[in-house]
Amino acid sequence: MRIMLQALLHALCGIAGFWFVSSPDQAVPPAEVQPSLKKSAKPIASARYSAPLPLASEAGLAQLTPEDWAEAIHPVSQARLHELPVMLRGLLRNPFPEVRRRLLHPLFERWAALDHAGALAALRGIPSPQDKQSALRAILGVWTKSDADAAWQYITDMEDDSVLQEAGIEILLGLNAGADPLRYAAWAGQLDDVFLREKALVQIGDGWMQKDPQGALAAALTAEPARLRDYLLSKVCHRDGVDHAAGLETVAQLPTQAERSRLSEEWLGAFANAKPQEAFQWLLGHADRAELQKAAGTLGGILAVKTKTIAELRALALQLPAGPLRDAFVARAADEWASAGRSLAGAQDLLSLCGPCLERESAQETILQPKWENRPTD
Amino acid sequence: MLPYCRLLTTTSLCFALGAFAGWWCGPSATAPGVANATAGPAPILPGTTSPAAKPPPFTSAAASMEWVRARMQKGDTTAAERFFHHDAGLTDEQRIGLARELMQNARRMDPHVLARIILGLPRGQAADTLLWRLVSDWSTNDAEAALLFIETLPPDRLNTVGVLTNSAFGLSRLPAERVLALAARLDDHGRSYLAEGLVGFADQAGSWRNTAAILAKLNGPSPPDAISAEWMLGMRLAEIAPQSLESQLTTETDPAKRDKLLQGYAHETGRNDPPRGLEMDARIQDPKVREKHIKYHTEHWLESDRTAALAWLRSPAAAQLMDREQRAKLLRTYHLEAVR
């Protein structure tokens, strides 16, 4: 019996040895790998399997994944000053940009709270511009609470890194401009660099629309510079809680037909996405306005997605007076109906309500595409 | 020798013999040619294999993604790659479907892993599109690492709009000398795509001071079929600072560059205001481009204010800008005749 057991043990050891070197993964010859790709997570992954590391250690931070990064927030935000450089090194070794972005924020918030100058010095040593920007955002967040003027001065004086400087301006505008957007807009309007001016105005506009969309809409027509007015009018329609009918009335007051046409399309599209029936009723009430032709097409496209039957769409279309608006509405609706994989016969039926025009030709082209050949016609 | 020591020695010997047998049999288990016959297995990282779980049989891309996420929670950050080994048995279509799913979840993935997977896919439109999405996403989140990856791409994948224009959003944040080192590896098309992308994103990322420093040294001839930096500059400035563009048009001394600036300006202006765009189109020097612009803007006008556009098409102003046949064709679409 003992001999049998020993024989079995030896056989098992032999099998284990065989398995050890010939597991399926190792049998696959690695294909040629580009040098830059070879250097990623290998040491991290290997170490990870062997033993878990303290989360806040250099190696621990280097190994965090998008699945478990949040566990490190607490240790990072409670770290002592001398631990922060080590943590930063670990984080910068982490291969996941998302993990770095998320954790650089609490790390630099903590650093800025404990040693403001040290945090700024450490920030400048970060190689990735996006990581640098995440760190700067955290530092400026802390700094503006205690001394916003000094924070602005620091950014204004940063002449050796124009990319970081402009990121800093955007961050500071995001933190401060909401309190008095028009004052900051006046400042931005004087910037000579047109691209920086645009970035600043977008930042101011976004902050304003987020904080008070109705207020932004009310002030949009008179906002200066004119580029801010354009930006607000083209974007505020997509914000929750904004009154689309009021916005469309504001747009109707614009001086040029081209502006009214372009912005009505934007607004009616946003209206239709939020309240499709109300948007249609609004168009019906203003169907005598030539500048709404393009907007009618956009509405037709959205309603084609939101409406269940072609009969409903037909009924809606027939409420519009014959002419450019109805044609645009019908053609775009038929186009969307066909593109969404619904009945081609239905799309053709709807398109029969459309007069001769470019929109009709375009929809016809969509419906007759060879790729639909195998689709049932009704 | 104690009995236990003897037992230990003999079992160790058996283990070693087994290991030798395994080593001996291992390579021949995969017959030469089998690996090559399966289109390009994704490379694997040596050293991460032994504790790695084998992926479950493929049922759907979403189910595989769930498994990848579960493995990543255990620290197995390269798990996704094992679906792409030839012994996982996925078809090319399944591999592409799964790669798409992984790209949808790119924020949860190590971009190096995604890069290896995508470069291992069979070449084609689907793989190229994934590569373009990867470089766009990667350079947006980590321009430095993305640049290191982009630099290793072979010329036929590197010198493409998809790679260079898409990555410009992130690359514009890097120091000019780093981007110029990449530019030195590019052909004329590649440099043109990069320049176009840098200008296109100038109001969203980086800084114009940095971008201008790059462009100053990228300033070679644009191939005729590429969009030039001037064209893109005209387009961007038309929207954000038309007055600044007007003065650039006045001061630009190179007629070719001036015409490209004007083309971009007219293109963008006419999208928002077709009659004004048509006025600008008339000033474009390149006859082919002028004709294309006029057709585009007239059609755009017909779709945004038909009544006014048809009246214009039948007017002497249109007769000066478009040839008779072109006008007649558009008017016939509306069952109308040209006046003269």
Contact by Cβ (8 Å): B132, B163? yes
- Please report residues of B whose CB lies closer than 8 A to that of A357: 302, 306, 333-334
pLDDT tops 70 at residue B34: no
Give the total residue count for chain B: 340
Give the pLDDT of residue A15: 52
| B33: confidence class by pLDDT, cuts 50, 70, 90 | very low
Cα–Cα distance measured from residue B264 to residue A346, given in angstroms and rounded to the nearest whole number: 40
pLDDT tops 80 at residue A271: yes
Angstroms from B100 CA to nearest CA on chain A? 19
Cα–Cα distance measured from residue A324 to residue B309, given in angstroms and rounded to the nearest whole number: 12
Contact by Cβ (8 Å): A351, B295? no
Contact B209 A16 (CB under 8 A): no
Give the pLDDT of residue A56: 80
> Cβ–Cβ contacts within 10 Å for residue B267, how many?
22
Contact A28 B78 (CB under 8 A): no
Q: By C-alpha distance, which of B301, B222, B236 is closest to A227?
A: B236
pLDDT, chain A, mean: 87
State whether residue A6 sits within 8 Å of chain B by CB: yes
Angstroms from B95 CA to nearest CA on chain A? 17
pLDDT tops 60 at residue A144: yes
**Average pLDDT for B156-164:** 95
Higher pLDDT, A298 or B12: A298
Cα–Cα distance measured from residue B133 to residue B135, given in angstroms and rounded to the nearest whole number: 6
**Average pLDDT for A261-265:** 97
Cα–Cα distance measured from residue B142 to residue B112, given in angstroms and rounded to the nearest whole number: 12
3-state percent helix, strand, coil for chain A, nearest multiple of 5: 75, 0, 25
Contact A129 B52 (CB under 8 A): no
In this structure, the dihedral spanned by the alpha carbons of residues A12, A14, A20 and A23, taken in order and rounded to 10 degrees, is -90
Instruction: Write the pLDDT tens digit of every residue in A221-235.
Output: 899 999 999 999 999
pLDDT tops 70 at residue A37: no
Give the pLDDT of residue B101: 94
B13-22, B65-74, B77-86, B227-236: which range is least confident on average? B13-22
**Among B203, B210, B305, beta carbon nearest to A291:** B305
Cα–Cα distance measured from residue A260 to residue A268, given in angstroms and rounded to the nearest whole number: 12
| A365: confidence class by pLDDT, cuts 50, 70, 90 | very high
Contact A166 B206 (CB under 8 A): yes
Give the pLDDT of residue A34: 47
Contact by Cβ (8 Å): A360, A326? no
pLDDT tops 60 at residue A326: yes
A19-23, A212-216, B37-41: which range is least confident on average? B37-41
Q: From A126, which residue of chain B is nearest by alpha-carbon distance? A: B144
Residue B26 CA to its chain's centroid (Å): 41
In this structure, the dihedral spanned by the alpha carbons of residues A84, A85, A86 and A90, taken in order and rounded to 10 degrees, is 100
Q: What CA–CA distances, in Å, run from B166 to B60, B127, B129, B130?
A: 29, 15, 11, 12
Give the pLDDT of residue B36: 30
**Average pLDDT for B328-337:** 93
**Among A45, A163, A324, beta carbon nearest to B306:** A324
Give the pLDDT of residue B54: 85
Contact A68 B306 (CB under 8 A): no
Angstroms from B233 CA to nearest CA on chain A? 11
Cα–Cα distance measured from residue A275 to residue A243, given in angstroms and rounded to the nearest whole number: 11
> Can you tell me which residue has the tokens 């970060």?
A126
Contact by Cβ (8 Å): B170, B205? yes
Instruction: List the structure tokens of A164.
Output: 């970081």
Higher pLDDT, A25 or B220: B220
- Please report residues of B whose CB lies closer than 8 A to that of A15: 18
The CB-side HSE value for A136 (13 A sphere, CA atoms) comes to 26
Give the pLDDT of residue B75: 83
Cα–Cα distance measured from residue B135 to residue B155, given in angstroms and rounded to the nearest whole number: 15
Q: By C-alpha distance, which of B280, B175, B182, B292 is closest to B235?
A: B280
State whether residue A67 sits within 8 Å of chain B by CB: yes
Cα–Cα distance measured from residue B97 to residue B103, given in angstroms and rounded to the nearest whole number: 10
The string of DSSP codes covering A298-351 is HHHHHHHHH-S-HHHHHHHHHHSPTTHHHHHHHHHHHHHHHHTT--HHHHHHHH
- Please report residues of A whose CB lies closer than 8 A to that of B151: 36
- Please report residues of B whose CB lies closer than 8 A to that of A67: 69, 72-73, 108
Contact by Cβ (8 Å): A279, A252? no
Contact B73 A162 (CB under 8 A): no
pLDDT tops 70 at residue A17: no
pLDDT tops 50 at residue B71: yes
| B44: confidence class by pLDDT, cuts 50, 70, 90 | very low
The interface residues of chain A toward chain B in range 243-272, judged by CB-CB distance below 8 A, are 256-259, 261-262
Instruction: Write the pLDDT tens digit of every residue in A90-116.
Output: 999 999 999 999 999 999 999 999 999
This prediction's pTM: 0.79
- Please report residues of A whose CB lies closer than 8 A to that of B306: 290, 293, 324, 357
Instruction: List the structure tokens of B195.
Output: 């320049």
Q: Which of A8, A19, A23, A34 to mutate to test the interface with B (most CBs of B within 10 A)?
A: A34
Q: From B139, which residue of chain A is nearest by alpha-carbon distance? A: A130
Q: Tell me, what amino acid is at A26?
A: Q
Cα–Cα distance measured from residue B105 to residue A327, given in angstroms and rounded to the nearest whole number: 41
Cα–Cα distance measured from residue B214 to residue B168, given in angstroms and rounded to the nearest whole number: 12
Give the pLDDT of residue B51: 57
Report, in angstroms and rounded to the nearest whole number, the Rg of chain A calculated over CA atoms.
31
Report, in angstroms and rounded to the nearest whole number, the Rg of chain B calculated over CA atoms.
29
Give every CB contact of residue A81 below 8 A, 6+ residues apart in sequence: A111, A114, A115, A118
| B6: confidence class by pLDDT, cuts 50, 70, 90 | low
Locate the domains of chain A by residue range.
53-152, 283-378
State whether residue A288 sits within 8 Å of chain B by CB: no
Percent of chain A with pLDDT over 70: 84
Contact B26 A27 (CB under 8 A): yes
pLDDT tops 60 at residue A124: yes
Cα–Cα distance measured from residue A344 to residue B92, given in angstroms and rounded to the nearest whole number: 32
- Please report residues of A whose CB lies closer than 8 A to that of B147: none
**Average pLDDT for A170-184:** 92
Instruction: Write the pLDDT tens digit of every residue in A60-69.
Output: 999 999 988 9
Cα–Cα distance measured from residue A58 to residue A107, given in angstroms and rounded to the nearest whole number: 13
pLDDT tops 50 at residue A80: yes
- Please report residues of A whose CB lies closer than 8 A to that of B272: 258-259, 262
Cα–Cα distance measured from residue A80 to residue A100, given in angstroms and rounded to the nearest whole number: 19
Exposure b/e, A62-100, CB count within 10 A at least 16 = b: bbbbbbebeebeebbeebeeebbeebbebbbbbbbbbbb
- Please report residues of A whose CB lies closer than 8 A to that of B116: 33, 37
Give the pLDDT of residue B335: 93
Q: From A63, which residue of chain B is nearest by alpha-carbon distance? A: B75
Angstroms from A149 CA to nearest CA on chain B? 23
Contact B18 A14 (CB under 8 A): yes
Q: From A328, which residue of chain B is nearest by alpha-carbon distance? A: B303
3-state secondary structure B227-263: CCHHHHHHHHHHHHCHHHHHHHHHHCCCHHHHHHHHH
**Average pLDDT for B309-326:** 94
How many CB pairs below 8 Å do chains A and B form together?
Answer: 262
Instruction: Reduce the DSSP state of residue B322 to 3 states and report it.
Output: coil
| A20: confidence class by pLDDT, cuts 50, 70, 90 | very low
Alpha helix stretches (DSSP H) within chain B: 3-29, 34-37, 61-73, 92-104, 111-120, 125-141, 143-150, 155-158, 161-171, 176-183, 188-200, 208-218, 229-240, 242-251, 255-272, 274-281, 287-304, 306-313, 316-321, 324-333
Contact B77 A165 (CB under 8 A): no
Give the pLDDT of residue B224: 73
Q: By C-alpha distance, which of B76, B30, B84, B87 is closest to B53?
A: B76
A276-290, B5-19, B215-229: which range is least confident on average? B5-19
Cα–Cα distance measured from residue A344 to residue A153, given in angstroms and rounded to the nearest whole number: 63
Q: By C-alpha distance, which of A172, A94, A78 is closest to A128?
A: A94
How deeply is B311 buried, as exposed, middle or buried, from its count of CB atoms within 10 A (0-12, 13-18, 19+)? exposed
State whether residue A98 sits within 8 Å of chain B by CB: yes
**Average pLDDT for A321-338:** 97
| B227: confidence class by pLDDT, cuts 50, 70, 90 | confident
Cα–Cα distance measured from residue A26 to residue B54, given in angstroms and rounded to the nearest whole number: 12
| B286: confidence class by pLDDT, cuts 50, 70, 90 | very high
Angstroms from B8 CA to nearest CA on chain A? 10
pLDDT tops 50 at residue A44: no
Instruction: Write the pLDDT tens digit of every residue in B96-114.
Output: 999 999 999 999 999 999 9
